[in-house]
């Protein structure tokens, strides 16, 4: 199917898509509408914010305020605070989950539009929601969903294409070297491969965080996306290197991408990662951050060398990795670098162990407590379910204790347990949980 056909088909078959288009069109009658966009602070969220901003500005002559807060779910008090000093005609929430209480924003503003690709946590009924992944697992990226809306309205141009492609890359929705794509993003990725083939060509170079199978090769789109991912950590590196001086990495990358687009570079002429970085207004700072990041990656690559096989659950080898994050990432409440390094181990552990699938559980002591990341599982052992079960058990053991939470996707999830819960208690519960699930799966097999 062609991408244009997919968008046309969705606009007819997906009620949420049609509602989002209608809700956006309703600001057409306002002369200079004002829109407030909250987006996720990762690469996909930034791609979404860029496509959304350009759509609102160019098609609706809107004034857009973009916010990329550090936490995932948007809360009512947060929006209330933003509305204390300014008023808006539209609230657009992109790549920030699907929660039923998002309907409550309608008490604050006349129009609320949600564009998201996470499994829902209660479906909002009154605001306009476009989320093809809400009810069943449809891997995609929010920046592509924004691009679909922009395409339907006839606005998306080559720079929106580029921003959406980076978002899809950031969320692991396709792999240019292995030439595979999640089904939903397939038509878009094929179109991009035709238009900008040099971004997809496999090249012999340092493997990036996105090169999970073949460690000898990468592609330009992976290299650029990795530099931008590193840039999102710029504020963490500012704490250890004063010369960086970035207050908040995600906003830094958002502004740099907008500045890049403003110069209207010919994308087909940019042939190396540095052609992109140098074309950004903060290119020099980004280069410095990227150097820190690559050094840290090497350090963590060594630390991640010692994964031990804990158990086998239904044919999936469960590995435990005990390692610290890079020094500058000690205070990060989010998966910074180590979990991505762990992902690059899945393929070699699979080969070594002979299991058809493996899962890596990263046990990472940080200044604030313990951060556990789970990766892999081959769709047989669910990372998100395990992380939320572990968090639930620890919450029951330490009632009233704040800072315990866990959940995520099928093949990538997090569990964070803040101090004063002792590290041994977290380890004990984790091991007990793996033991129980293994036991259960053996009983079921018999």
Q: What is the token pair recorded at 277?
A: 């970085």
Q: Are 186 and 157 in contact (CB under 8 A)?
A: no
Minimum distance of Mn ion from residue 41's CB (angstroms): 11
| Closer CB to Mn ion, 96 or 292, in the complex | 96
Beta strands per DSSP E along 300-356: 307-313, 316-322
CB neighbours of residue 352 within 10 Å: 13
Minimum distance of Mn ion from residue 163's CB (angstroms): 13
| Closer CB to Mn ion, 49 or 438, in the complex | 49
| Closer CB to Mn ion, 37 or 238, in the complex | 37
Question: Whole-angstrom Cα distance, residue 395 to residue 247?
Answer: 33
| Closer CB to Mn ion, 33 or 119, in the complex | 119
CB neighbours of residue 400 within 10 Å: 5
Minimum distance of Mn ion from residue 409's CB (angstroms): 10
| Closer CB to Mn ion, 142 or 233, in the complex | 142
Cα torsion through 213, 147, 53, 128, rounded to 10: -110
What angle separates helix 15-25 from helix 43-60, to the nearest 10 degrees? 50
Q: Is residue 82 helix, strand or coil?
A: helix
Q: Which residue has the tokens 């930034």?
A: 46
Q: Are 389 and 433 in contact (CB under 8 A)?
A: yes
Minimum distance of Mn ion from residue 128's CB (angstroms): 19
Minimum distance of Mn ion from residue 182's CB (angstroms): 12
- Interacting residues of 50 by C-beta distance below 8 A, sequence separation 6+: 143, 160, 163, 254, 257, 258, 261
Residues found near Mn ion in the complex (CB under 5 A): 44, 95, 142, 171
- Interacting residues of 252 by C-beta distance below 8 A, sequence separation 6+: 231, 232, 234, 235, 246, 282, 285, 286
Minimum distance of Mn ion from residue 140's CB (angstroms): 8
| Closer CB to Mn ion, 115 or 285, in the complex | 115
Minimum distance of Mn ion from residue 72's CB (angstroms): 10
State the alpha helices, DSSP H only, in 85-185: 142-152, 158-170
| Closer CB to Mn ion, 41 or 256, in the complex | 41
| Closer CB to Mn ion, 160 or 171, in the complex | 171
Q: Kindly report whether the peptide bond that precedes residue 334 is cis, defined as omega within 30 degrees of 0.
A: no
Minimum distance of Mn ion from residue 229's CB (angstroms): 13
The CB-nearest residue to Mn ion is 44
């Amino acid at each position: 199917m062609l991408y244009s056909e997919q968008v046309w088909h969705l606009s007819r078959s997906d009620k949420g898509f049609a509602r989002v288009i209608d809700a956006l069109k309703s600001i057409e009658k306002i002369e200079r509408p004002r829109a407030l966009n909250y987006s996720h602070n990762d690469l996909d969220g930034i791609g979404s914010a860029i496509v959304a901003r350009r759509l609102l500005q160019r098609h609706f002559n809107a004034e857009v305020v973009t916010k990329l807060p550090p936490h995932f779910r948007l809360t009512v008090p947060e929006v209330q605070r933003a509305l204390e000093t300014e008023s808006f005609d539209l609230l657009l929430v992109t790549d920030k989950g699907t929660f039923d209480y998002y309907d409550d924003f309608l008490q604050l503003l006349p129009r609320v539009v949600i564009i998201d690709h996470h499994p829902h946590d209660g479906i909002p009924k009154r605001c306009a929601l476009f989320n093809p992944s809400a009810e069943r697992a449809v891997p995609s990226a929010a920046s592509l969903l924004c691009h679909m809306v922009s395409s339907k309205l006839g606005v998306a141009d080559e720079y929106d294409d580029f921003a959406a492609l980076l978002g899809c890359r950031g969320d692991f929705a396709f792999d240019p070297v292995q030439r595979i794509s999640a089904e939903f993003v397939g038509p878009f990725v094929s179109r991009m491969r035709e238009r900008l083939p040099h971004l997809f060509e496999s090249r012999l170079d340092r493997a990036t965080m996105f090169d999970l199978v073949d460690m000898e090769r990468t592609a330009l789109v992976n290299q650029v996306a990795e530099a931008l991912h590193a840039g999102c950590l710029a504020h963490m590196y500012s704490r250890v290197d004063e010369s960086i001086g970035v207050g908040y990495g995600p906003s830094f990358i958002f502004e740099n991408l907008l500045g890049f687009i403003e110069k209207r570079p010919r994308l087909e002429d940019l042939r190396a990662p540095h052609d992109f970085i140098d074309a950004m207004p903060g290119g020099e700072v980004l280069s410095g951050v990227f150097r820190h990041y690559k050094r840290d990656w090497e350090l963590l690559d060594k630390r991640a060398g010692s994964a031990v096989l804990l158990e086998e659950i239904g044919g999936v080898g469960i590995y435990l990795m005990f390692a610290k994050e890079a020094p500058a990432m000690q205070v990060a409440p989010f998966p910074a670098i180590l979990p991505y390094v762990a992902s690059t181990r899945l393929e070699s552990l699979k080969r070594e162990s002979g299991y058809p699938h493996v899962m890596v559980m990263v046990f990472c002591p940080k200044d604030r407590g313990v951060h556990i990341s789970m990766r892999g599982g081959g769709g047989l052992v669910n990372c998100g379910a395990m992380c939320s079960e572990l968090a639930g058990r620890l919450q029951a053991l330490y009632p009233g204790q704040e800072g315990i939470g866990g959940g995520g996707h099928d093949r990538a999830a997090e569990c964070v347990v803040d101090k004063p819960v002792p590290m041994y208690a977290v380890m004990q519960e984790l091991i007990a949980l793996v033991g129980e699930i293994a036991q259960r799966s053996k009983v079921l097999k018999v």
